[in-house]
Amino acid sequence: MEEYIVDVIFDGNKEQLKTYSASPMEVVDSMLSFDNVSAINKITRQTDKKNWSFDNDNIQSLRELRDSINNEADIIQELRRSH
C-alpha cells in the first residue's frame, strides 16, 4: 500500500484527500465510492511524487458501473489483478 494525495471537488469545494491504495486505479475506485466527490482532478503518489490527471467526463458512468457490482471484494480483487 502506498500513500496518495488526491485533489478533488468535495461538496463543491477544492479539497485534498489522503488515501492508501495499491495503485492509482484503486485510488480512483475509492474516490468514486464517495458521493460527495464530484470531480477527481489529480492523484499524486507520495513516495515519488508521480501524478496522474483524471478526465471527469465519465465520472458518473464509472460511478454507476461501480454501483452495479454488488461484491466489494470482487472489485478490489480485479483492480489488484490488473495492477
Cα-flanking dihedrals φ and ψ of residue 13, to 5°? Answer: -120, 145
Is pTM beyond 0.75? Reply is: yes
Confidence at residue 50, expressed as pLDDT on a 0 to 100 scale: 97
State yes or no: pLDDT of 75 exceeds 90. Answer: no
Residues in the chain: 83
- pLDDT of 10-45, one tens digit each? 999 999 999 999 999 899 989 998 999 999 999 999
Domain parsing of the chain, residue ranges: 2-82
- pLDDT of 52-65, one tens digit each? 998 888 888 888 88
